[in-house]
Amino acid sequence: MRIGVRKVGKSRGSYYSALKRITRVANSAISLRRICNAIAKSTAKAMQANGCRILSLNSQKEYLITVGTHGLSDLYLKKGPLAAHKSLPDILEGKAVFIADAATDERVQHPQMALAQGISSILGVPVLGKGHAIGEIRIYTREPRQFSEADKSFLFSVANICAVVFERAELHQLLEQDYKPSEKRRKSPQVPPVRTTLRPTTFAHPSEEDFAKLLDFYCIEWLYEPRSFPLRWKGGRIAEMFTPDFYLPELDLYIELTTLKQNLLTEKNRKRRRLKELYPEVNIKLLNKNDFLKLLAKYGYGPLGTAKVEGIDRVLYSHAQIQRRVRTLARRISRDYAGQRLMLVGVLKGVVCFMADLMQQLSLPVTLDFMAISYYGGEDQVVKITRDVDSSITGQHVMMVEDIVDTGMTLNYILGHLSAHNPASLRVCTLLDKRARRLIDVPLDYVGFEIPDEFVVGYGLDYKGEYRNLPFIGILHPELIKGNAPR
């Protein structure tokens, strides 16, 4: 039962001493997690609160990941990843959020867990880096509480200190990456930013770290042990729980590695079955030792591995990232052409994957046609159309769909050819734009990704006829490219 709302105030002096302590710890040489835990503890103590949690937003601003806590149970912390947009949209906009009653407030994502933890009021303020939300700090109280202006201003000051801590840790990570020889290529300013999510993760087992590296290689977002599922109760208390090792938010998939002894596999299988009974909506996969080693070996790692992914230097865009971008492009095109019929024209063969995915996402009546052209270095002395569109484009709204625009010479030639047939309109949608190499200024109306000056393969793009079937776009080892870039 709740009794009256308490106003707890701290004097400016004691907040001042707390800030002194917090800045000292922020500037210490201990690990990020220990710094954040110490800040959470001092903050909770200074504000006479029962708990404090410091969260970092992932690089896509989709999830909040706990980087430091004080006074909250493991079960509460592992209640599942917090989707940022659902959790606290105000935080993303840089505003403070006050929740008077966590049990009834709709913004609380796991109210029953808050109730079990005995949380009544929550105050959250954004951690802002260069004016944008990069995280959040939250204060939890057991008794209903109104926070004073002094409380809020103190928490904002702590959030500012957290921002410096985050950015310093991020810089540290970047520097480390820059100084690893294999990562030097990431210095190129045009390469998409390195993943900057703070991950102060200590893994329980080295194989988990290997698995995390593999996920990173494929640009697959992951969270380590973000959620515990109660499996058995005894007298109203939880008697057994299951905490899967990884959660992959983009795939909504939990993964449990069973790289330990085979007899543990039986136990994990039992837990997984129980989890499926109790939480049928949860998607979980067990990866056993042999499968895991084979998986690592496929990419050249681990005891069974012999070589690296042949030819691929690194993944530029994962399948999930491509799919997301294609959906966004399709939404824009569908909106721009609403009420009209559109003719999609692609140049074979690199465009096949992009064309197939894009057209399925368009909510318009579309027709489809393909062209093929000779390329430099082939049999023909000059560029020529080796296959023209089957149907007439005169009076049609035509969209040229391209896999990649590099110098712009191919597209310039094709646009010239198509516009001579007087379409009602002619626009261009390209998945990749290698703008740095542009020689002819061709107009691009829809662009998926602007990419660095590197030779890419996968998702339809080839090198000497190979790699088209890779589900991601990767950068080919520069040594492999000897001169030309065939279609």
CB of 414 to ligand 5GP, least distance (A): 9
- The pair of structure tokens assigned to 100 is 């008077």
Q: Can you list the positions of beta strands (E) in 100-158? A: 121-129, 132-141, 145-146
Is the Cβ of residue 98 or residue 413 nearer to ligand 5GP in the bound state?
413
Q: Could you give the residue ranges of the DSSP H alpha helices within 100-148?
A: 111-117
Task: Give the residue from 184, 227, 51, 67 showing the smallest Cα distance to 124.
Answer: 51
Is the Cβ of residue 321 or residue 410 nearer to ligand 5GP in the bound state?
410
Q: Give the separation between CA 295 and CA 287, rounded to whole angstroms.
A: 10
CB of 404 to ligand 5GP, least distance (A): 5
User: Phi-psi region for residue 297, left (φ > 0), alpha (ψ -120 to 50) or beta?
Assistant: alpha
On whether the CB atoms of residues 319 and 473 are closer than 8 A, the answer is no
Question: Residue type at 375?
Answer: Y
CB of 227 to ligand 5GP, least distance (A): 40
- The pair of structure tokens assigned to 53 is 């949690």
CB of 434 to ligand 5GP, least distance (A): 6
Judged by CB under 6 A, the residue of 195, 309, 455, 477 near ligand 5GP is: 455
Residues written for the chain: 487
Is the Cβ of residue 128 or residue 457 nearer to ligand 5GP in the bound state?
457
Residue 123 makes contact with ligand 5GP by CB under 6 A:
no
Q: Give the separation between CA 436 and CA 188, rounded to whole angstroms.
A: 12
Nearest-5° Cα angle at 19, 13 to 20: 90
CB of 336 to ligand 5GP, least distance (A): 24
Q: Could you give the residue ranges of the DSSP H alpha helices within 311-408?
A: 319-336, 352-361
Residue 433 makes contact with ligand 5GP by CB under 6 A:
no
Looking at 151, 406, 433, 462, which residue is catalytic?
A: 406
Question: Residue type at 184?
Answer: K
Residue for token pair 């009021």: 121
- The pair of structure tokens assigned to 334 is 């569908």
Task: Give the residue from 347, 465, 461, 464 showing the smallest Cα distance to 411.
Answer: 347
Residue 461 makes contact with ligand 5GP by CB under 6 A:
yes
Count of residues touching ligand 5GP (by CB under 6 A): 18
Judged by CB under 6 A, the residue of 96, 409, 447, 481 near ligand 5GP is: 409
The helix (run of H) or strand (run of E) holding residue 69 is: strand 63-70
Q: Is 453 a catalytic residue?
A: no
3-state secondary structure of 151: helix
CB of 67 to ligand 5GP, least distance (A): 37
Is the Cβ of residue 36 or residue 457 nearer to ligand 5GP in the bound state?
457
CA distances from 87 to 81, 84, 225 (A): 10, 5, 19
Q: Give the separation between CA 40 and CA 29, rounded to whole angstroms.
A: 17
In the window 18-57, what residues touch ligand 5GP (CB under 6 A)?
Answer: none
Is the Cβ of residue 156 or residue 455 nearer to ligand 5GP in the bound state?
455
CB of 387 to ligand 5GP, least distance (A): 15
Contact letters for ligand 5GP, residues 291-320 (x by CB under 6 A)? ------------------------------
**Which range, of 71-79, 191-199, 318-326, 407-415, touches ligand 5GP by CB under 6 A?**
407-415
Residue 279 makes contact with ligand 5GP by CB under 6 A:
no
Judged by CB under 6 A, the residue of 404, 426, 428, 429 near ligand 5GP is: 404
Judged by CB under 6 A, the residue of 170, 313, 406, 433 near ligand 5GP is: 406
Residue 487 makes contact with ligand 5GP by CB under 6 A:
yes
Residue 405 makes contact with ligand 5GP by CB under 6 A:
yes
Q: Give the separation between CA 402 and CA 459, rounded to whole angstroms.
A: 12
Residue 410 makes contact with ligand 5GP by CB under 6 A:
yes
Q: Give the separation between CA 120 and CA 5, rounded to whole angstroms.
A: 10
Judged by CB under 6 A, the residue of 68, 135, 226, 350 near ligand 5GP is: 350
On whether the CB atoms of residues 477 and 457 are closer than 8 A, the answer is no
CB of 391 to ligand 5GP, least distance (A): 22
Residues of this chain that bind ligand 5GP (CB under 6 A): 350, 404-411, 434, 455-457, 461-463, 485, 487
Active site residues: 406
